[in-house]
Structure formats: C-alpha cells, structure tokens
Amino acid sequence: MMSDRTYFAYIVASRSHTLYVGVTGNLHKRIFQHKWKEHDGFTEKYNCDRLVWFEVFEEIGKAIAREKQLKGWRREKKIALIEKSNPAWIDLSREWYEVEPADFKRATDRLHS
C-alpha cells in the first residue's frame, strides 16, 4: 500500500558545523522549531539551525533506519555526505520562512537601542 505521507531524515548544522541528525514527518515545521529554539536540548544549546542535508522517504521505518545509520557514522562521513550535494553548506530552508530568527533579533535589537 502506498502512503501519501512523506518522511525526512535530515541534518541541521550550526555556523561552526556542529551537526544534528533527525527524522520528522513535517520538515518545514521541524526546521522552524530548530530555528526558533522551541525545544530545549542539543540543537538549542549548540545553535544547530541550518538545514544542510535531507532525504525523503515514503515509509517512516525507512526514514528512522536512515537516521540511525547516519547517527552511527563518523563525523567525516557525515560531512562528506553534506558536501556531496551542498558543498557551501547553504541553509536549504533559507527561503521557507518570512522571517529568520537572526533577522528578528537584529530588528528588535535596533528597536531597543
């Protein structure tokens, strides 16, 4: 049976290239949560808010298996995977949202200075 759901294994990175591997059924929402630090934890602590790699799956089991596989990889292998499709480490979600947290912070800082 074909599913109309889509699942994603993904990697977000900080500016200093700290990596976080995750899985989700709603990539747009999940990356928004990382950017706005809506959950305490690793990505919030290390500012992992740039989507640098993702893969699409039709079955949640396959997405979870890929996430587990990636989490087992050495850092160098994850970096090679990212750089194969995204050599400049561009934030693949940069056009998804009206406002980025960094833009919002700069605007509010100007208001309060």
Q: Give the E-state strand segments of the chain in sequence order.
A: 7-13, 19-24, 50-57
**CB of 15 closer than 8 Å to CB of 47:** yes
Q: Can you give the pTM of this predicted structure?
A: 0.85
Q: Is the pLDDT of residue 38 over 70?
A: yes
Section 13-38 average pLDDT: 95
What residues have CB less than 8 Å from 96, skipping those under 6 apart?
Answer: 28, 31, 32
The pairing of strands 19-24 and 50-57 is unpaired
Mean pLDDT (the chain) is 90
Confidence bin at 106 (pLDDT 50/70/90)? low
Q: Dump pLDDT digits (tens) for 49-71.
A: 999 999 999 999 999 999 999 99
**Domain 7-111 in this protein, CATH class:** alpha beta
Comparing CA positions, the residue from 34, 4, 7, 33 lying closest to residue 19 is: 34
